């Protein structure tokens, strides 16, 4: 969704709207005649004078009601809900009760918005008290107390209020959203794609009806979206007679409203709004269909949209959705399996590049730019042996994407210093700061890069090293500059020593020190056991020497857990 809706609900933001069907003197209803009062309210709230602020809001509400100023009425109601929520117990439930009373005396265009607000209030209450609704038994004739409602009742209430918000579609379609300056965020640059109050409220209802209704008892003839008809091009879809015995199905209701949106904007010859509604419809059907061929049907319908709107910026959005589908297919590629998807990222980039070039200022172009950057992003990881033998070559398995050459560095650093460094350094900065140390060895290697924007792996040799502790760093930039590159690192211990461990029946841990190459035991090796201890004063962990052992003639030593804490 492109527009950030500021409406609704208690304590969120403000909404302001008027209707062209009202013939009201603009001087009387202009927001500037209320600006001083609202500044006073904000100041009172800031200074903690909630009761006085509420009195001022009620005065604004009374004034707005006298002149049928819907924008100020709605704004007053929302402010009142916010303020009362901090002054009384069970405020949320009481706020919903007051909204119900408000609706009884309201008029268009306030009424449909109040229904939508009440639906959202019910929805938030349900989401915050989900378990209670699931544990209650259904009552055929529920009372008015929401504390006694079960899941079926609360869902019916939400559904009813969203449907009531759309009961006057012709009047809603005649009310333009571009006069609702406080309802739609100022950051939205494409209000025209959802130009009417009908669009605004319909999409809010669709967002709820698109939710899963798991937990509700399903009828024998449950409504499903497993039909090719629901993927048909918009001009054919608009002519469908969508019927179901499962008339309370949320998905059924969502599809009915989506069809109404498509018909509305098809008749209005509003390509941008039509494409927006149709893409929403296709994404919804695809997400909720279990047909094995749903992706191919979805792709065909998106292609139809793209071709229909080829001269409209809306085609860039269709291109983005197609490109995303291509990328998702490319992500499933495994060598020797799904080979047909290997090059789909290139196809996605072609679509994105054309969309960005043709309609550079469009929403779709911006989305394509993000997707293109994701596909082209460089990445790398590698795995290596934790310990290698001095004077012997070793290797790493490097996995990489979109990189044709890798630079490698080995820096030597004491293992204790390394651990402290990693603990005190932000994760993203570790590799960069380690790369600033003087390398003991550095080299580079060319990498096969077929240009498929897929991940690949290769085995690379690591030079021989003397005994000690090192960090191996890999980067796509030979200068190891921090910007616009991929980096990876791992510490490597080089030692001839290894050990085996077993526990005896008394709980002792028996160790034998071995030569890593010959497998023979090694005597007189000094072993130091350290504990990691937290220091409250410095708020840091530090290593404290616990005990020192010397390997026996057979390379063995024993740790008795009862003799000290060796777990850290």
Distance CA 333, CA 327 (A): 10
Give pLDDT, residue 485: 79
Please indicate, yes or no, if residue 227 is contained in any of the structural domains: no
Number of residues that this document lists for the chain: 568
Give pLDDT, residue 10: 38
Indicate which CATH number applies to the domain containing 417.
2.60.40.2550
Q: Kindly state whether residues 477 and 535 are assigned to the same domain.
A: no
- Summarised one tens digit per residue, pLDDT across range 77-103 is 888 888 887 776 777 788 888 888 888
Q: Kindly state whether residues 369 and 383 are assigned to the same domain.
A: no
**Average pLDDT over all residues of the chain:** 83
Buried b (16+ CB within 10 A) or exposed e, 298-319: bbebbebbbebbeebbbbbbbb
H helix or E strand, kind and range, residue 510:
strand 509-515
Residue where the block lists tokens 């840091």: 540
Q: Kindly state whether residues 461 and 327 are assigned to the same domain.
A: no
What's the domain range around 353? 310-376
Give pLDDT, residue 12: 39
Q: Let me know: does 367 contact 320? Beta carbons within 8 Å.
A: yes
Of residues 11 and 130, more confidently modeled: 130
Query: What pLDDT band is residue 239 in, cutting at 50, 70 and 90?
Result: very high
Q: Kindly state whether residues 419 and 508 are assigned to the same domain.
A: no
Give pLDDT, residue 54: 87
Give pLDDT, residue 393: 87
Cis peptide, bond prior to residue 162, ω within 30 of zero: no
- Summarised one tens digit per residue, pLDDT across range 515-528 is 988 899 999 999 88
Distance CA 60, CA 73 (A): 8
Please indicate, yes or no, if residue 43 is contained in any of the structural domains: yes
- Summarised one tens digit per residue, pLDDT across range 304-340 is 999 888 888 889 999 999 999 999 999 999 888 888 9
Query: What pLDDT band is residue 180 in, cutting at 50, 70 and 90?
Result: low
- Summarised one tens digit per residue, pLDDT across range 453-484 is 999 999 999 999 999 999 999 999 888 887 76
Is the pLDDT score of 191 beyond 50?
yes
Q: Kindly state whether residues 414 and 502 are assigned to the same domain.
A: no
Distance CA 537, CA 193 (A): 58
Q: What are phi and psi of 517, to 5 degrees?
A: -90, -50
Give pLDDT, residue 346: 95
Give pLDDT, residue 446: 95
Q: Kindly state whether residues 15 and 156 are assigned to the same domain.
A: yes
Please indicate, yes or no, if residue 512 is contained in any of the structural domains: yes
Region 338-354 average pLDDT: 94
Is the pLDDT score of 537 beyond 70?
yes
Please indicate, yes or no, if residue 200 is contained in any of the structural domains: no
Helices (H) and strands (E) in the chain, counts: 19, 13
Q: Kindly state whether residues 125 and 179 are assigned to the same domain.
A: yes
Q: In 10 A of CB 464, how many CB atoms?
A: 14
Q: Kindly state whether residues 418 and 555 are assigned to the same domain.
A: no
Distance CA 382, CA 395 (A): 10
Single residue among 321, 352, 376 that ends a domain in this structure: 376
- Summarised one tens digit per residue, pLDDT across range 52-77 is 988 888 898 888 888 877 778 878 88
**Nearest-5° angle of CA 194, CA 161, CA 6?**
40
Q: Kindly state whether residues 471 and 337 are assigned to the same domain.
A: no
Q: Kindly report the pTM of this predicted structure.
A: 0.77
Query: What pLDDT band is residue 214 in, cutting at 50, 70 and 90?
Result: low
Q: In 10 A of CB 293, how many CB atoms?
A: 11
Query: What pLDDT band is residue 15 in, cutting at 50, 70 and 90?
Result: very low
Of residues 248 and 566, more confidently modeled: 248
Compute CA distances 97 → 15, 81, 102, 288, 299, whole Å. Answer: 20, 11, 9, 35, 46
For 162-205, the three-class secondary structure string (H helix, E strand, C coil) is HHHCCCCHHHHHHCEHHHCCCCECCCCCCHHHCCEHHHHHHHHH
**Nearest-5° angle of CA 121, CA 125, CA 130?**
145
Please indicate, yes or no, if residue 235 is contained in any of the structural domains: no
Please indicate, yes or no, if residue 478 is contained in any of the structural domains: yes
Give pLDDT, residue 328: 94
- Summarised one tens digit per residue, pLDDT across range 158-176 is 999 999 999 989 999 998 8
How many domains does the chain divide into? 4
Q: Kindly state whether residues 501 and 483 are assigned to the same domain.
A: no
- Summarised one tens digit per residue, pLDDT across range 271-305 is 888 998 999 999 999 999 999 999 999 999 999 99
Single residue among 376, 398, 421 that ends a domain in this structure: 376
Q: Are strands 387-388 and 487-494 parallel, antiparallel or unpaired?
A: parallel
Q: Kindly state whether residues 366 and 389 are assigned to the same domain.
A: no
Of residues 276 and 147, more confidently modeled: 276
- Summarised one tens digit per residue, pLDDT across range 414-446 is 888 888 788 777 777 888 888 888 999 999 999
Distance CA 76, CA 479 (A): 60
Please indicate, yes or no, if residue 203 is contained in any of the structural domains: no
Compute CA distances 106 → 83, 102, 110, 185, 463, whole Å. Answer: 21, 6, 6, 25, 80
Query: What pLDDT band is residue 179 in, cutting at 50, 70 and 90?
Result: low
Give pLDDT, residue 511: 92
Please indicate, yes or no, if residue 276 is contained in any of the structural domains: no
3-state helix, strand, coil in the chain (%, to 5): 45, 20, 35
Single residue among 443, 475, 494 that ends a domain in this structure: 494
Q: Kindly state whether residues 41 and 52 are assigned to the same domain.
A: yes
């Amino acid at each position: 969704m492109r527009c950030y809706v500021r409406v609704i609900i208690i304590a969120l933001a403000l909404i302001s709207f008027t209707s062209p069907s009202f013939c009201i003197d603009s001087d009387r209803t202009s927001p500037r005649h209320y600006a001083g009062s609202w500044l006073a309210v904000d100041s009172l709230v800031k200074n903690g004078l909630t009761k006085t602020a509420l009195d001022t809001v009620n005065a604004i509400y009374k004034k707005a009601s006298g002149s049928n100023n819907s924008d100020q009425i709605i704004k007053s109601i929302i402010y009142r809900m916010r303020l009362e929520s901090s002054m009384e117990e069970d405020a949320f439930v009481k706020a919903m009760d007051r909204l119900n009373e408000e609706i009884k005396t309201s008029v268009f265009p306030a009424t449909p918005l109040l229904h939508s607000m009440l639906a959202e209030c019910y929805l938030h209450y349900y989401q915050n008290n989900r378990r209670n609704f699931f544990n209650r038994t259904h009552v055929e004739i529920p009372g008015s107390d929401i504390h006694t409602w079960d899941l079926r009742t609360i869902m019916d209430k939400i559904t009813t209020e969203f449907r009531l918000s759309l009961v006057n579609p012709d009047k809603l379609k005649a009310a333009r959203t571009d006069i609702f300056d406080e309802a739609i965020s100022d950051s939205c640059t494409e209000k025209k794609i959802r130009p009417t109050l009908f669009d605004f409220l319909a999409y809010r209802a669709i967002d709820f009806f698109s939710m899963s209704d798991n937990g509700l008892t399903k009828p024998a003839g449950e409504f499903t979206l497993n039909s090719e008809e629901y993927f048909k091009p918009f001009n054919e879809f608009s002519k469908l007679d969508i019927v179901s015995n499962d008339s309370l199905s949320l998905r059924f209701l969502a599809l009915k409203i989506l069809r109404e949106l498509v018909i509305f904007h098809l008749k209005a010859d509003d390509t941008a709004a039509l494409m927006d509604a149709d893409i929403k419809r296709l994404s919804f059907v695809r997400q909720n269909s279990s047909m094995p061929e749903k992706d191919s049907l979805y792709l065909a319908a998106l292609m139809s949209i793209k071709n229909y709107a080829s001269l409209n910026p809306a085609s860039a959005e269709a291109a983005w959705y197609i490109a995303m589908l291509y990328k998702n297919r490319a992500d499933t590629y495994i060598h020797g399996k799904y080979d047909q998807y290997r090059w789909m990222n290139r196809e996605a980039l072609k679509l994105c590049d054309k969309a960005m070039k043709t309609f550079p200022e469009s929403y779709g172009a911006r989305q394509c730019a993000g997707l293109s950057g994701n596909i082209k992003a460089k990445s790398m990881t590698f795995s290596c042996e934790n310990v290698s033998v001095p004077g012997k070559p070793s290797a790493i398995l490097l996995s990489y994407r979109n990189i044709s050459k890798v630079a490698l560095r080995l820096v030597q650093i004491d293992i204790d210093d390394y651990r402290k460094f990693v603990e005190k350094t932000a994760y993203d900065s570790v590799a960069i700061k380690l790369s600033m140390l003087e390398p003991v060895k550095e080299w580079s290697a060319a990498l096969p890069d077929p240009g498929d924007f897929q991940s690949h792996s290769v085995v690379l040799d690591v030079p021989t090293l003397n005994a000690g502790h090192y960090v191996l760093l890999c980067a796509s930039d030979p200068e190891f500059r921090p910007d616009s590159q991929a980096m990876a690192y791992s510490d490597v211990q080089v030692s001839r020593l290894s050990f085996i461990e077993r526990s005896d029946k008394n709980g002792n841990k028996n160790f034998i020190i071995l030569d890593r190459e010959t497998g023979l035991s090694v005597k007189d090796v000094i072993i130091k056991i350290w504990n990691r201890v937290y220091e409250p004063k410095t708020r840091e962990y530090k290593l404290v020497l616990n005990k020192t052992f010397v390997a026996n003639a057979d390379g063995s030593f024993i740790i008795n857990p009862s003799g000290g804490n060796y777990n850290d």
